[in-house]
Amino acid sequence: MKLLLKNCHIIDRDLDIFSDILIENGKIKSIGTISEPCDKIIDLNKKIVMPGFIDLHTHFRYPGQESKEDLHTGSLSALAGGYTTCNLMGNTKPVVDNNEIYNEILDKSKEIDLINIYQCMATTKDLKSIEMINFEKADTKIKFFSEDGRGITDSLLAYNIFTEIEKIKKGIMIHAEDHNLTEISTRYAEDLETIRDCYLSLKTGCKVHFCHVSTINSLEAIKFYKEKKAPITCEVTPHHLYMKDSDFKVNPSIRTQDDIDCIIDMIKNSIVDAIATDHAPHTKEDKDNGACGMIGLETAFNIVYKVLHENNGISLNKISELMSYNPAKILGENKGAIIPTYDADLVIIDLDKNIKVDKFNSKSSNSPFIGEEFTGSIEMTIVNGEVKFEKGVKNDNR
């Protein structure tokens, strides 16, 4: 199968050019002026083509909470936001703490065949932070383990988990929260555990990725330990970039303008590696009853573009690095750039169109951005060389 994209405005971490893209058998074959026969030709009329976005931190709620989201609707939501790859957290019901559930999720996602799915496995049985899983018996396909939704408050347990994960040369994704401090201050809770886990990463050699970092002191700790060559990376969310002093319930909490200013500075100085959504669907009833979290896949690019590019002059090249290139490298995959031999995961964006946030492909609608208008429309999403989403076109097979 050959697909030719004509008249593209190609933007990735390194490129900002006008050219054609030839895709063959799910891979990018060549870039340039191309006129050879193809199975399908799409003239993009100078619309922007970027590497598909990669979300390192997503909740699709399968298994056990399908009233909120499932692998199918979550994938549709991802495609509508330009995401071609999502890394799912393991705080499902039952918890992903064994190979059987892990492989059930991957097998089902392959049947659905919409986006690339990766799945984290919990670090303790049933996410109770008491008994470690057997890391040596965990499926070798696993990229990261995570106790997501909870911090690992017990320091000895954290040390043992880091040590075991380092032995098998995998990584851990950290939800930094010391639950002994949460009621006193969510800021203290995040900062203290971030500092501890940076130190443990340095001392054990365990690869650590910090999820949804939101405070000045946590970012400063990450910067300090990165300079000491600890094997750490970190992400921030669109909502922590955009919202301030809000009581909309997310975890970690929405912070202040000073925290936002620090995040932007750390992005400019490449301390922040990635932007991840923490897409967390809830039913209206659960959200009304105080559940933490918001959906984010379908609005992420627009919010990032507004805050980083429109308000702070950060280039689309840098945005592509944060949303595609660096996440791909953290996962260890040949994605996230428009380079021959790389996976043909692409998103087409029309920056001459604005969108109004009003409806979602997700089952849930727990978003604080409903009614807001943003620059940029996701027009098409291509996964492994196949058009999986086209705005305004309904595919009955989905």
In this prediction, residue 393 has a pLDDT band, given cuts at 50, 70 and 90, of: confident
Is 45 contained in some domain? Answer: yes
How far apart (Å, rounded) are the C-alpha atoms in residues 338 and 342?
A: 7
CA torsion, ordered 277, 281, 287, 291, to nearest 10 deg: -70
CATH number assigned to the domain comprising residue 381: 2.30.40.10
Estimate the share of the chain in helix, then strand, then coil, as percent rounded to the nearest 5.
Answer: 30, 25, 45
Indicate if 21 and 131 belong to the same structural domain. no
Segment 258-266 long-range contacts (CB within 8 Å, at least 24 positions apart): 258/216, 259/214, 259/215, 259/216, 262/215, 262/216, 262/219, 262/220, 263/213, 263/214, 263/219, 263/236, 264/307, 264/308, 264/312, 264/314, 266/219, 266/223
Indicate if 96 and 109 belong to the same structural domain. yes
The pLDDT > 90 percentage for the chain reads 97
In this prediction, residue 394 has a pLDDT band, given cuts at 50, 70 and 90, of: confident
Is 72 contained in some domain? Answer: yes
Sheet strands (E) in the chain: 2-11, 16-24, 27-32, 40-43, 48-51, 53-58, 83-88, 116-119, 144-146, 171-174, 207-210, 232-236, 274-275, 346-356, 373-383, 386-390
Indicate if 160 and 213 belong to the same structural domain. yes
Indicate if 193 and 212 belong to the same structural domain. yes
Indicate if 108 and 230 belong to the same structural domain. yes
Is 160 contained in some domain? Answer: yes
Indicate if 17 and 69 belong to the same structural domain. no
Indicate if 206 and 61 belong to the same structural domain. yes
One-letter amino acid for residue 187 of the chain: R
Is 97 contained in some domain? Answer: yes
Smallest CA-to-CA distance from 161 within 179, 178, 145, 137 is with 145
How far apart (Å, rounded) are the C-alpha atoms in residues 132 and 97?
A: 10
- Kind plus residue range of the DSSP H or E element containing 133: none
How far apart (Å, rounded) are the C-alpha atoms in residues 113 and 72?
A: 9
Indicate if 66 and 161 belong to the same structural domain. yes
Report CA-CA distances (Å) from 355 to 203, 228, 299, 303, 371: 47, 43, 10, 11, 10
Q: What is the pLDDT of residues 323-363, one digit of tens each?
A: 999 999 999 999 999 999 999 999 999 999 999 999 999 99
In this prediction, residue 371 has a pLDDT band, given cuts at 50, 70 and 90, of: very high
Mean pLDDT over each residue of the chain, to the nearest integer:
97
| Backbone dihedral angles phi then psi of residue 211, each to the nearest 5 degrees | -85, 155
How far apart (Å, rounded) are the C-alpha atoms in residues 239 and 277?
A: 8
Asked if the model's pLDDT at residue 392 lies above 90, the reply is: no
Q: What is the pLDDT of residues 258-311, one digit of tens each?
A: 999 999 999 999 999 999 999 999 999 999 999 999 999 999 999 999 999 999
- Residue 371's contacts (CB-CB under 8 Å, 6 or more residues apart) are 356, 357, 358
In this prediction, residue 23 has a pLDDT band, given cuts at 50, 70 and 90, of: very high
pLDDT, average across residues 49-57:
98
The Cβ of residue 284 has, within 10 Å, a number of other Cβ atoms equal to 10
| Backbone dihedral angles phi then psi of residue 105, each to the nearest 5 degrees | -65, -45
Residues 350 and 302 sit within 8 Å (Cβ to Cβ): no
One-letter amino acid for residue 249 of the chain: K
Indicate if 263 and 213 belong to the same structural domain. yes
How far apart (Å, rounded) are the C-alpha atoms in residues 11 and 316?
A: 7
The pLDDT > 70 percentage for the chain reads 99
The Cβ of residue 195 has, within 10 Å, a number of other Cβ atoms equal to 18
**3-class SS of residue 23:** strand
pLDDT at residue 200 in the model: 98
Count up the domains in the chain and report the number.
2
pLDDT at residue 397 in the model: 43
Is 383 contained in some domain? Answer: yes
Smallest CA-to-CA distance from 240 within 269, 282, 212, 272 is with 212
Smallest CA-to-CA distance from 183 within 157, 153, 219, 218 is with 153
Tell me the residue range of the domain where 12 lies: 2-49+344-355+374-390
Indicate if 45 and 57 belong to the same structural domain. no
Among all chains, which residue has been given the structure tokens 């990584």?
171
Strands 83-88 and 116-119: parallel
Is 338 contained in some domain? Answer: no
Is 369 contained in some domain? Answer: no
Please give the positions annotated as active site: 278
Smallest CA-to-CA distance from 10 within 316, 298, 387, 380 is with 316
Report CA-CA distances (Å) from 312 to 220, 263, 265, 277, 308: 21, 12, 10, 20, 5
pTM, rounded to two decimals? 0.97
Q: What is the pLDDT of residues 118-156, one digit of tens each?
A: 999 999 999 999 999 999 999 999 999 999 888 999 999
Indicate if 169 and 243 belong to the same structural domain. yes
Asked if the model's pLDDT at residue 398 lies above 70, the reply is: no
Indicate if 43 and 64 belong to the same structural domain. no
pLDDT at residue 395 in the model: 56
CATH number assigned to the domain comprising residue 246: 3.20.20.140
How far apart (Å, rounded) are the C-alpha atoms in residues 90 and 102?
A: 9
| Backbone dihedral angles phi then psi of residue 348, each to the nearest 5 degrees | -110, 130
**3-class SS of residue 200:** helix
Is 227 contained in some domain? Answer: yes
